[in-house]
């Protein structure tokens, strides 16, 4: 059973106050883009995980755990437990999504494993687990897993896991600049907290953190009308300052994208991948070429969005 699953970029990542459980309250607009990992699952006598770069991809998989700690293996165990089946999964992951890149690659693999294992093991006439159940199970694995099951464009609140699909029109054309070496998501959130404490967060709420984030109306309007320029102007990421503090060279990457015609530029999620929105497909080609020539990125990748979530191929 093979499932193809997309990467995401956050069109808005609004980081609110830190909660008692250590997570931050978020307003997150997720957008699935056409960079895909492929996850193949077979029922096996013993659990197994293999990870490799997808054909033609230069993704470095050295830092991905090829054992039962892999989020996809945890997803398989969760599905088996929920279905009450005594089955093991041999999982093979072919990665094209940058690793620790702020594009939710690990979450994507977990989502793909959820869908693959449910299809393999939930074989009664009336499936026990539907898509909504898998979205819910995903939340037990990580904040970005539910969206990778769902795909498209969606607003996430809470830890980012409570999702509502967003209305969009047409296709948006993206260019991504990857970096050598990932950034740890917890480290970026911690740096965001540290910077806010340093600034004294003047309008902080009772929790002593940031005020609650709200979804951007100009962003939702640009999505609904297919307005690339409007969307580019409305892109925001509250983790960007923290990612830039930990990796100052990203400033040059963002500048290079803007110089080469991007209508929007931001760090993707917790970084270090930078995302650039182009006005149309032709501009995306020019932008990718310009960024390649600027030699500021490990790799320059093109993609479009929105695309559907994890799907059996």
Catalytic residue among 144, 193, 227, 238: 144
Minimum distance of ligand C5P from residue 17's CB (angstroms): 10
- Is 190 labelled as part of a ligand binding site? no
Q: What whole-number distance in Å separates Cα of residue 101 and Cα of residue 58? A: 13
Q: Kindly identify the residues of this chain, within the stretch 170-189, that bind ligand C5P according to CB under 6 A.
A: 185-186, 189
144 included as an active-site residue = yes
| Helical axes 281-294 vs 250-259, angle rounded to 10° | 130
Which one, 21 or 126, has the nearer CB to ligand C5P? Answer: 21
The Cα angle at residue 145 between residues 142 and 147, in degrees rounded to 5: 135
The reply on whether position 74 binds ligand C5P by CB under 6 A is: no
Q: Among 23, 61, 285, 311, indicate the residue that binds ligand C5P (CB under 6 A).
A: 23
The dihedral sign for the CA sequence 172, 3, 268, 161: positive
Which one, 162 or 258, has the nearer CB to ligand C5P? Answer: 162
Size of the chain in residues: 313
Q: What whole-number distance in Å separates Cα of residue 186 and Cα of residue 158? A: 17
Q: Kindly identify the residues of this chain, within the stretch 123-152, that bind ligand C5P according to CB under 6 A.
A: 142-144
Helix (H) / strand (E) element for 223: namely: helix 217-225
Which one, 23 or 304, has the nearer CB to ligand C5P? Answer: 23
Which one, 4 or 24, has the nearer CB to ligand C5P? Answer: 24
Distances (CA, A) of 279 to 48, 213, 304: 44, 27, 12
Stretch of residues binding ligand C5P (CB under 6 A), selected from 20-28, 225-233, 244-252, 277-285: 20-28
Judge whether 280 and 147 are in contact, CB under 8 Å: no
Q: Among 4, 8, 94, 159, indicate the residue that binds ligand C5P (CB under 6 A).
A: 159
Backbone phi, psi, residue 304, to 5°? -130, 160
| Helical axes 105-121 vs 71-83, angle rounded to 10° | 30
DSSP E strand stretches across 96-182? 153-158, 162-165, 172-178
The reply on whether position 70 binds ligand C5P by CB under 6 A is: no
Q: What whole-number distance in Å separates Cα of residue 66 and Cα of residue 150? A: 25
Q: Among 7, 26, 73, 154, indicate the residue that binds ligand C5P (CB under 6 A).
A: 26
- Is 106 labelled as part of a ligand binding site? yes
Minimum distance of ligand C5P from residue 109's CB (angstroms): 12
Judge whether 121 and 43 are in contact, CB under 8 Å: yes
Which one, 156 or 257, has the nearer CB to ligand C5P? Answer: 156
67 included as an active-site residue = no
Which one, 69 or 125, has the nearer CB to ligand C5P? Answer: 69
DSSP E strand stretches across the chain? 2-18, 24-44, 48-53, 88-95, 153-158, 162-165, 172-178, 236-237, 264-267, 274-278, 299-305, 311-312
Size of site (CB under 6 A) for ligand C5P: 11
- Is 103 labelled as part of a ligand binding site? yes
285 to 304: interface string for ligand C5P, x by CB under 6 A: --------------------
List binding-site positions: 98-108
- Residues lying near ligand C5P in the complex (CB under 6 A) are found at 23-24, 26, 142-144, 159-160, 185-186, 189
Summarize the annotated binding site for ATP as residue ranges: 98-108
Which of the residues are catalytic? 8, 144
């Amino acid at each position: 059973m093979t499932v193809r699953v997309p990467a995401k970029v956050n069109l808005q990542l609004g980081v609110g106050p830190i909660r008692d459980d250590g997570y931050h309250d978020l307003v997150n607009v997720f957008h699935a883009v056409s960079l895909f990992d492929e996850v193949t699952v077979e029922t096996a006598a013993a659990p197994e995980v293999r990870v490799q770069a997808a054909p033609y991809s230069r993704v470095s998989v050295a830092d991905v755990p090829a054992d039962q700690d892999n989020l996809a293996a945890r997803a398989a165990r969760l599905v088996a437990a929920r279905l009450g089946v005594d089955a093991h999964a041999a999982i093979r992951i072919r990665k094209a999504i940058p690793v620790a890149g702020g594009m939710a690659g690990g979450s994507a693999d977990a989502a793909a494993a959820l869908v693959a294992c449910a299809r393999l093991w939930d074989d009664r006439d009336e499936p026990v687990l539907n898509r909504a159940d898998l979205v819910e199970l995903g939340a037990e694995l990580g904040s970005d897993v539910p969206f990778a099951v769902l795909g498209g464009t969606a607003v996430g609140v809470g830890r980012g896991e409570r999702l509502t699909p967003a209305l969009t029109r047409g296709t948006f054309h993206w260019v991504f600049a990857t970096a050598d070496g990932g950034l740890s998501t917890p480290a970026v959130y911690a740096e965001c907290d540290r910077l806010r404490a340093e600034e004294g967060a003047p309008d902080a709420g009772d929790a002593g953190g940031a005020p609650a984030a709200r979804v951007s109306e100009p962003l939702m309007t640009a999505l609904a009308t297919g307005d690339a320029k409007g969307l580019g102007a409305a892109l925001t990421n509250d983790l960007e300052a923290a990612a830039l503090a930990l990796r100052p060279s990203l400033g040059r990457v963002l500048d290079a994208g803007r110089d080469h015609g991007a209508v929007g530029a931001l760090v993707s999620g917790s970084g270090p991948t930078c995302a650039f929105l182009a006005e149309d497909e032709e501009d995306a080609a020019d932008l990718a070429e310009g960024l390649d020539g600027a030699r500021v990125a490990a790799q320059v990748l093109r993609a479009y969005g929105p695309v559907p979530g994890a799907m059996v191929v």
